[in-house]
Structure 1
């Protein structure tokens, strides 16, 4: 597990989440811990390292 910091696409606060880097491709919805709005998270990992991370607002 790796802690990853990013900005919420709604409130722009820096938040963090734990990413299981043993899973190569992940996509899920997580609520912002500050403003509680839903964020679409997409993660691609290679060799237990986060290669690509996208946090987008739900449309």
Structure 2
């Protein structure tokens, strides 16, 4: 497996991506579940940013 991405400084995104660290200890058959959890965390982070009223467009 390649190196994990460095922290980007957004706590919610870093937490979600941190889940990828467990892949090396899991059988390949369990990877889909990890990817789904990471994807869900990233979706939630993005949704929270999109719903911020003071966001500039």
The structure richer in strand per residue is 1
**Would you call these one fold, judging by a TM-score over 0.5?**
no
Q: Which TM-score applies when normalising by structure 1? A: 0.23
Q: Which TM-score applies when normalising by structure 2? A: 0.24
The structure richer in helix per residue is 2
- For the pair shown, the structure with the greater C-alpha radius of gyration is 2
Q: Which has the higher contact order (CA 8 A, sep 6+)?
A: 2
